Amino acid sequence: MGIIERREREKTERKAQIMRCAKELILEKGAENVSVMDIAKRAELSKATLYLYFPSKDLLFMDICNAAAVRFIENFRNRLYPGLTAIETIKLYWQCYLDMFGESDEMVIVFSMWQYLSPGYPFLSLEDAAKPLTIFEFYTDIQNMIAQGIAEGTFDPAVDPAMIARTILSLFSTAVENTAKLPKDARNVRFIIDETTNLFQIIIRGIARDGLDRALLNLPTLLEKYEPKALSSKTG
Amino acid sequence: MGIIERREREKTERKAQIMRCAKELILEKGAENVSVMDIAKRAELSKATLYLYFPSKDLLFMDICNAAAVRFIENFRNRLYPGLTAIETIKLYWQCYLDMFGESDEMVIVFSMWQYLSPGYPFLSLEDAAKPLTIFEFYTDIQNMIAQGIAEGTFDPAVDPAMIARTILSLFSTAVENTAKLPKDARNVRFIIDETTNLFQIIIRGIARDGLDRALLNLPTLLEKYEPKALSSKTG
Amino acid sequence: MGIIERREREKTERKAQIMRCAKELILEKGAENVSVMDIAKRAELSKATLYLYFPSKDLLFMDICNAAAVRFIENFRNRLYPGLTAIETIKLYWQCYLDMFGESDEMVIVFSMWQYLSPGYPFLSLEDAAKPLTIFEFYTDIQNMIAQGIAEGTFDPAVDPAMIARTILSLFSTAVENTAKLPKDARNVRFIIDETTNLFQIIIRGIARDGLDRALLNLPTLLEKYEPKALSSKTG
Amino acid sequence: MGIIERREREKTERKAQIMRCAKELILEKGAENVSVMDIAKRAELSKATLYLYFPSKDLLFMDICNAAAVRFIENFRNRLYPGLTAIETIKLYWQCYLDMFGESDEMVIVFSMWQYLSPGYPFLSLEDAAKPLTIFEFYTDIQNMIAQGIAEGTFDPAVDPAMIARTILSLFSTAVENTAKLPKDARNVRFIIDETTNLFQIIIRGIARDGLDRALLNLPTLLEKYEPKALSSKTG
DNA sequence: TATGAATGAGTGTTCATTCAT
DNA sequence: AATGAATGAACACTCATTCAT
């Protein structure tokens, strides 16, 4: 039985290795410039071997995209408290983003794969999406947070949650993808985090109900972490 | 010398004709699906002849991008009044956008070419841009308007004008490009205008100085035109 | 030694199982669309294991072809009476064909494998055949029947028995293979039998001695079985 | 204007040259073993250049098939007399076949291309044919001749003209293709002609009305040419 | 005995660019 | 000035076969 397990482990490891190589290349050259040959060379395998682990280039890319997206979403959902206000949830969401992005290039991968696979996706309509990407759940999550915020009187009721979700995703996607297209050494993770944080902050303010105290809307940053336990007023 | 001039004129005319054909195709099929062959056929020229007028496909596309951008920028600058406030200027800017987008596909061209040519551009830094695109002046113009707004106390002084300019351009670019990827008949110009207007509005609100009366920030829409002459208080 | 025998038996059984799977696939998809992978999957074995039992795909296919051919030939030879006239033998031969084809897909296998393996074979010369296929014995049998018929005055002495044998085999082969290329459900065994019967009938008539009573040459059909026992006039 | 004509001529010449190379390879290796690369190499061109002259491999092969088929059919129809009996027409048909086949490998090409492109074609049903090959007209022509023969009392009325047409084409196709698959030096044009002549002869006899004088049915051979002018009794 | 893993050599097709004329 | 012709390099994907374990 040890053998079977070891085989399993090796297979997983190989898949992971291939995905790692593909990710490197995506980060280096941009998704649309990565060919199956490139990945094979980097992984020191033959093209044919790649196809042993992934049935097609698209599915390899989808796996890469989903793996990171799943990690993010699970992390976020695990840290969710019942009874959080919309703005608290948003802050938590953002904290998860900072945590994940601070550690790795995962977010870059998520968004650039996403653009590659479903280019026009979230901006226009959900229905046009051809491929089942986990990242689509980002859309739902964000939409829900905005809707809850409207219900709680935090956000302007004239605002369309779906449109805001689209916008936020587009912004991140663009930010991240643009970064991914730069040569790797020019890339500055820290910068991306600051930039996307500012963007998100602006949008949150832009959709806030008129007259709301802005102090409530401050998102966590790399310097100021958000601790949901402390903030969520379970007693009140 | 008349001959030289005529030659010059003919050459310009030819170039314009090629660009016209290329633009048609970009709108019909999306930038990345337009081949040199396609353009040559549409222009009823040989591929080799195209290379007589444009040194490469990329440079042809850049010219197309620039030509439209120049039209927009000149139109905007021509309609500028001295003495306009930042927010008035922004409204005018937006009115120009509405005018241009309502009338023609020029904006689609501008942004989709731009994405095609310098995908990672404006988000990160001006210096990294490999190619001299006129569209970069959009960036300066927007930046200036935001900076002026900060100076006039309309916008939050903590805001970074350059970052806002990047953001706005990214959003438009994404919106327009996503649209451009749809088949031409499915494209809905009206929808793009509404969407980008909403986005712009949210950002303007998001960067407004705390406590500012939001009514001042209302952008023109397709229904409510902005008339700078009436609004600009030259006397005050 | 029981062990050795059991091993032998198991090996044979495994081979048979693989051949069964391959045959199913050939019937379903046509010989040239069956890959080693397909067969391995169907047999629930690894590709490598297949190569333990058959040294190559070609040789597996040859075995399949031969096994079915042997079955047919043995059946035919078992039912042969000494003292049958040529035309009686031919009728018997045809009856065997009808029996075998009516009951199973064996004939389809025989001929489609044959075409796959030795496409140019029987038409031109026996010597050119690269691979030792049992089906070549069909050729000898038919040739013998024709030669006997000539000797008995049933067939035109100007006729070349070898050529007729080639022709008949080619016709069957083509008929069967064409059928095999159709999707399995569209295949119409009944139709093939009728068609090949007609063809065979025409050839038999075509080579009959001038002036011979055609009634003697009527082949059995699906409706009219041939009973050699009754017909063979052992007394005369 | 001379230039245009020369270009035209050169283009035609190039096409012809490519077709020549492809034909050589088909004769040498069999149609299904000829790749675009092979043809390009033989023609001392790049693969891309081939695609300048033929839009796809299939269409190149179809052109090859059709060009020869058209030559044959036109030759036959040009030599047709009004008022010929069925059997006279058949003899003429055969004479055309002998003429064409004696001179070149054209018939080999016709039939092996045909098999490659529409493998199961004539045997089963006309409707299944996916590609418009001129060779299908062979089918109609033969069918008509048989039908006329039945009407004139030459052939057995029980015979199905369509089935005979299928058979004849299958036989030629098989004969020719089998030849084509042999190594080129083993091929013997003379032999094919004799063989197919004999086959055709046998079928004609096989479908003759019972009691008909066989002498009327003798087909032309390489040795005995058929001269339709002499035979067609225009006066009677 | 059995197999998972690996691969070399191939498939048809596309496209931006060059160059002799 | 204009072009027809040519091409190298690339693309995603497949398959029969081998071999270490």
Question: CA B32 to CA A33: how far, in whole Å?
Answer: 13
Which of C202, B227, A182 lies closest to D207, judged by CA? C202
Q: Which residue minimizes Cα–C1' distance to E8? A: A46
The residues facing C155 across adjacent strands are: C208
Q: How would you class B56 by CB atoms within 10 Å of its CB: exposed for 0-12, middle for 13-18, buried for 19 or more?
A: exposed
Q: How would you class B73 by CB atoms within 10 Å of its CB: exposed for 0-12, middle for 13-18, buried for 19 or more?
A: middle
* C-alpha count within 13 angstroms, C-beta hemisphere, residue C15: 18
- Can you say whether the dihedral through the CA atoms of D176, D182, D184, D189 is positive or negative? negative
B158 sits within 7 Å of strand F by its CB: no
Q: Which pair of structure tokens corresponds to residue C172?
A: 């069957």
C37 sits within 7 Å of strand F by its CB: yes
**Could you tell me if A73 and A137 are in contact, meaning their C-beta atoms sit under 8 angstroms apart?**
yes
What is the CATH topology of the domain spanning C1-55? Arc Repressor Mutant, subunit A (1.10.10)
**Could you tell me if B156 and B210 are in contact, meaning their C-beta atoms sit under 8 angstroms apart?**
yes
Our measurement of CA B36 to C1' F1, in angstroms, reads 19
Confidence of residue B37 (pLDDT cuts 50, 70, 90): very high
Average pLDDT over residues C56-81: 89
Question: Which chain E positions have some atom within 7 A of a protein CB?
Answer: 1-20
Question: CA B162 to CA C101: how far, in whole Å?
Answer: 82
Q: How many CB pairs below 8 A link C and D?
A: 98
User: Which of B131, B192, B198, B216 has the most A C-beta neighbours within 10 Å, making it the best mutation to test the interface with A?
Assistant: B198
pLDDT along chain D (236 residues), means of 10: 76 93 88 93 95 94 88 91 92 91 75 70 49 78 95 95 85 67 60 83 93 91 77 43
SS3 state at C190: helix
pLDDT at B18: 96
pLDDT at C229: 59
Number of helical H runs and strand E runs in chain B: 11, 0
**Could you tell me if B179 and B192 are in contact, meaning their C-beta atoms sit under 8 angstroms apart?**
yes
pLDDT at B1: 56
Identify which has the larger pLDDT, D184 or A27.
A27
pLDDT at A201: 92
- CA torsion, ordered A91, A93, A96, A101, to nearest 10 deg: -100
| Closest CA–CA distance from residue D17 to any residue of chain C (Å) | 28
Q: Do D179 and C120 touch (CB under 8 A)?
A: yes
* CA angle in degrees (0–180, nearest 5) for C216-C69-C30: 110
Q: Give Cβ neighbours of residue A67 (< 8 Å, ≥ 6 apart).
A: A19
Q: Could you tell me which chain A residue has the CA closest to the CA of B217?
A: A206
Our measurement of CA A144 to C1' E11, in angstroms, reads 49
Question: CA B196 to CA B201: how far, in whole Å?
Answer: 8
| Closest CA–CA distance from residue C6 to any residue of chain D (Å) | 43
**Could you tell me if A145 and A210 are in contact, meaning their C-beta atoms sit under 8 angstroms apart?**
no
Q: How would you class B192 by CB atoms within 10 Å of its CB: exposed for 0-12, middle for 13-18, buried for 19 or more?
A: buried
pLDDT at A230: 47
**Could you tell me if C155 and C208 are in contact, meaning their C-beta atoms sit under 8 angstroms apart?**
yes
Our measurement of CA D21 to C1' F9, in angstroms, reads 24
- Integer angstrom CA distances of residue C144 from A180, B77, C219: 78, 101, 18
SS3 state at A155: strand
Identify which has the larger pLDDT, D130 or B87.
B87
pLDDT at D205: 95
Give me the residues near strand E, CB below 7 A.
Answer: A 7, 10-11, 14, 44-49, 51-52; B 35-37, 47-48, 51, 56-58; C 7, 14, 45-49, 51-52; D 34-38, 47-48, 51, 55-58
Our measurement of CA D33 to C1' F15, in angstroms, reads 15
Look up the pTM and report it.
0.85
Q: Which residue minimizes Cα–C1' distance to E9? A: A48
**Could you tell me if D73 and D110 are in contact, meaning their C-beta atoms sit under 8 angstroms apart?**
no
Residue C230 pLDDT > 50: no
Tell me the CATH architecture of domain D69-235.
Orthogonal Bundle (1.10)
pLDDT at B53: 95
| Closest CA–CA distance from residue B14 to any residue of chain A (Å) | 33
Our measurement of CA C181 to C1' F16, in angstroms, reads 22
Place of tokens 């004609």: D204
Residue B179 pLDDT > 70: no
Which of D79, D45, D116 lies closest to D225, judged by CA? D79
Interface of D with C in 164-223 (CB under 8 A): 164, 167, 170-171, 173-175, 177-182, 186, 188, 191, 195, 198-199, 201-208, 210, 214
SS3 state at C119: coil
Question: CA B116 to CA B34: how far, in whole Å?
Answer: 11
Question: CA B135 to CA C98: how far, in whole Å?
Answer: 80
Cα D132 to chain centroid, rounded = 15
Q: Give Cβ neighbours of residue C223 (< 8 Å, ≥ 6 apart).
A: none
Q: Could you tell me which chain A residue has the CA closest to the CA of B177?
A: A120
- Integer angstrom CA distances of residue D84 from A4, B62, D137, D159, D236: 80, 72, 19, 21, 11
Confidence of residue A137 (pLDDT cuts 50, 70, 90): confident
Q: Which pair of structure tokens corresponds to residue C136?
A: 């070549």
Closest nucleotide to the alpha carbon of A46, via C1': E7
Q: Which pair of structure tokens corresponds to residue A122?
A: 């979230």
Nearest by CB to residue B170, choosing from A174, A201, A205, is: A174
Residue A58 pLDDT > 70: yes
Q: Which CB contacts under 8 angstroms, 24+ apart, belong to D160-168? A: D160/C198, D163/C195, D163/C198, D164/C202, D164/D203, D164/D207, D165/D122, D165/D139, D165/D140, D166/D122, D166/D123, D166/D139, D167/C171, D167/C199, D167/C202, D167/D203, D168/D142, D168/D200, D168/D203
Domain limits, CATH 1.10.10.60, in chain A: 1-55
User: Which of B167, B177, B217 has the most A C-beta neighbours within 10 Å, making it the best mutation to test the interface with A?
Assistant: B167
Helices B86-103 and B57-79 cross at an angle (nearest 10°) of 130
**Could you tell me if B108 and B176 are in contact, meaning their C-beta atoms sit under 8 angstroms apart?**
yes
Which of A192, A177, A181 lies closest to A29, judged by CA? A181
**Could you tell me if D228 and D99 are in contact, meaning their C-beta atoms sit under 8 angstroms apart?**
no
Nearest by CB to residue C120, choosing from D120, D181, D188, is: D181
Q: Give Cβ neighbours of residue D226 (< 8 Å, ≥ 6 apart).
A: D91, D92, D94, D95, D219, D220
Percent above pLDDT 70 for chain A: 83
Q: What are the pLDDT digits (tens) for C130-143?
A: 556 677 788 889 99
Confidence of residue C211 (pLDDT cuts 50, 70, 90): confident
Nearest by CB to residue D199, choosing from C167, C173, C178, is: C167
Question: CA A96 to CA D120: how far, in whole Å?
Answer: 62
Helices D136-151 and D161-181 cross at an angle (nearest 10°) of 140
pLDDT at D234: 44
Cα C113 to chain centroid, rounded = 10
Q: Which pair of structure tokens corresponds to residue C163?
A: 């050529």
Place of tokens 């283009």: D11
Q: Is D30 on the interface with C (CB under 8 A)?
A: yes
Identify which has the larger pLDDT, B138 or C46.
C46
pLDDT at C124: 43
**Could you tell me if D174 and D192 are in contact, meaning their C-beta atoms sit under 8 angstroms apart?**
no
Q: What are the pLDDT digits (tens) for B53-81?
A: 999 999 999 888 888 888 888 999 999 98
Residue A122 pLDDT > 80: no
Question: CA B212 to CA A211: how far, in whole Å?
Answer: 9
Domain limits, CATH 1.10.357, in chain D: 69-235
| Closest CA–CA distance from residue C220 to any residue of chain D (Å) | 17
Question: CA C47 to CA D180: how far, in whole Å?
Answer: 33
pLDDT at D29: 83
- Integer angstrom CA distances of residue D3 from B44, D7, D13, D17: 20, 6, 15, 20
Average pLDDT over residues C105-119: 72
Q: Identify all chain D residues contacting C171, using CB atoms and an 8 Å cutoff.
A: 167, 170-171, 174
Our measurement of CA A163 to C1' F16, in angstroms, reads 54
Chains B and C touch (3+ CB pairs under 8 A): no
Residue C41 pLDDT > 60: yes
Question: CA B198 to CA B195: how far, in whole Å?
Answer: 5
Q: Which residue minimizes Cα–C1' distance to E2? A: C49
Question: CA C21 to CA B128: how far, in whole Å?
Answer: 61
Our measurement of CA B135 to C1' F5, in angstroms, reads 38
Q: Identify all chain A residues contacting B199, using CB atoms and an 8 Å cutoff.
A: 167
